[in-house]
Each structure stands twice: as structure tokens, then as C-alpha cells.
Structure 1
Amino acid sequence: MSWKFFNPGQILTADDANTLMRQGRAIVANATERNAISAVEGQRVYQLDNKTEYEFISGSWVGGWTPYPLNGPDAAEFVVGVALEWKLANGIVFHRGRLDAVAASIPTGWKNVATLPAVACPNATSIFAGVEDATTSDGSVVSVSIQPSGAVNIRAGQGIITRAHLNNVVYPR
């Protein structure tokens, strides 16, 4: 975000307003009002009807929870148990949801389950721990890795794990 310091007597021009004010957050009532904005890259709005922040990225508004596409080469080994989703807000990517293993347990090696859109990718590989289902808890750990390419990989430690939860996992964009 740019800043401009004004000296006494200096005039705020239309160009100043257009440039500097677009970098703040506008508050809009709904999607119709949001889409009517002549937005610039990085501009943000807060939408009142759904209490969601959106950011204008690569020509479109990105915000709210977006479903993961299970499109990786190993995606067939998992099903979405609870809406597997991501969202971008304030430069932070949030993840939530649950993956259930189709077979008896999540495999111990890394499995690629999805490729996220570029706006949801970290700047560096991000590895975080998921949480296994309490009914199968035996001390095993589920790890999720998100690569800068957008590849989402999941793996289990040892033991039987049937589910991986991604509740409000975050990383800076």
C-alpha cells in the first residue's frame, strides 16, 4: 500500500483520491455493488450481506470459502468428508474441512490430492499437521504439505488414520 504525506496547503487531487483510496477497504452491501466497482489489482472490499472480505486478484474478486478441487493423481484415495475449502483474507490463506480415506487408512507416504489455484498457493512450501479422527486416535500424525505450485499433499505417520481435518489452518500469502 502506498502512502502520501501532504504538506500544509497541498491539494488532494482526483488522481490522489483514485490511487490512494482504492488501496483501502471499501464496504459494500452485496455482490452487485462489489462488481460495479472499477477495481484495481489488490483492492479489497468487505461485503456486508455475507460478512466476507474480497480481494481483486488477476481480474476477479477472490473471497469467501472456495472448494478444493480434488484433482491430484492420488485424489481417488480420498473423499471430502466435510467441505474442504480455502479462502484468502488480509494476505492470509485459511483452510478448513476434512478428507476421509477411501481405503482403511491414509497411506504413510505423501499422496497428492489437489492442486490449488495460484492465489491460494504459499510463497514457500508450507507443512502443517492435520488432526486425525478421535475415534481412531493412536498417536499417529497427519501432515499436509502445500507447495508453491499449489500441489496439496497429505500423509500419515504410523498407525490407522481414517480422516484428516484442516480446521482454520493458515499461512501468509
Structure 2
Amino acid sequence: MKIIETRIPDVKIIEPKVFGDERGFFMETWNEKAFREAGINATFVQDNHSRSVKNTLRGLHYQVKQPQGKLVRVTRGEVLDVVVDLRLESPTFGRWVGEYLSEDNNLMLWVPPRFAHGFLVVSDEADFQYKCTDFYAPEYERSIVWDDPDISIEWGVSEVDKLRLSAKDMMGQSFDAAKTELLISS
């Protein structure tokens, strides 16, 4: 596997080795030893799978307690996957990284704990799968509004009225409000 650095050093793009022929392909998506050697020391407790249609935007989600590290990948379709650093002490606090993940490029993204996470489906449909380092705790889940001007994520959205968001994500808080809550809870 190849580990690709991003502009936020703790966020990693993982390019697995894919072995294919006319029958199909094989790839290893998790190997504890290889990931530890790459600096990703994770113990996973939960796997999730979501399916979404084009223009669905999920996020930006995070948990104020029990933060989850995530190893994310797309097994059908394509998404723009985005993470925002919420570590108050980090020199990259408030910065974001985005990467296109698809069934064709087989890339995975390591999202460390204490990051907000979201994705936009750019194909007709997408299956998004991810491993989590802590259990989902709905009482601690929060959402930052996807288009917060302080973060300025470049989603590449030309027709905002075609976006599909949950009610929770439409009511996401500002980055400034999230920062205040993180300061209080730390």
C-alpha cells in the first residue's frame, strides 16, 4: 500500500495495491501491521455502510465526546470526501482537506479522531463504507453547516438548490459556534 500525505499531516490518503485480471480484482483494505507502520494506530469497533444518491451532502459531522477516527472508502460510485481539523491545539485547526474517493481509484482516507467529516456524492449513486475507532454516540454528535464561510470548503457545487441534505445537516451550527463548544467541553 502507498501512503500519501495531505496538507494536514495526520490525514492520510491510502492507495492499496490492487491485483486484477480478467476475472476481477483483489485488494487488502485493512492490515493492522501495515497501517501501524504507516503511523495509523487504530483499533476499530464499528463498521458502517451508507448508500446515497447524486447531490447528497452528508456532514460535516463530529462528536464532542467519544470522537471517532474513521477509515473511509467508496465501493460504488464517487464522492468528494472532506475533513476539517477540530483539534484546538493543532496548527491546522479549522483547515480542511478534500479528496475524491471512488470505486475506480480505490483510494481510502484516514480521518483521525477530533475531525469533522462529510462527503458529497458526485456519481448517480454511491456506496460509502467506513470503519470507526469508537462507537456512535448520538448524544454527542454535532454538525457544522456545510457552507460555513470561515472554513470555505470548495465543494464544486454549481447548483445549491439541487443539494440533498438531511434536516439535521441543514440546521448545522457555524464553525464559530462549534469552536466555542469545543473550548467549553475540553
**Which is higher, the Rg of structure 1 or of structure 2?**
1
Report which structure shows greater RCO (CA 8 Å, sep ≥6): 2
Do they fold alike, i.e. is TM over 0.5? no
Q: Normalising by the residue count of structure 1, what TM-score does the alignment of the two structures yield?
A: 0.26
Q: Normalising by the residue count of structure 2, what TM-score does the alignment of the two structures yield?
A: 0.24
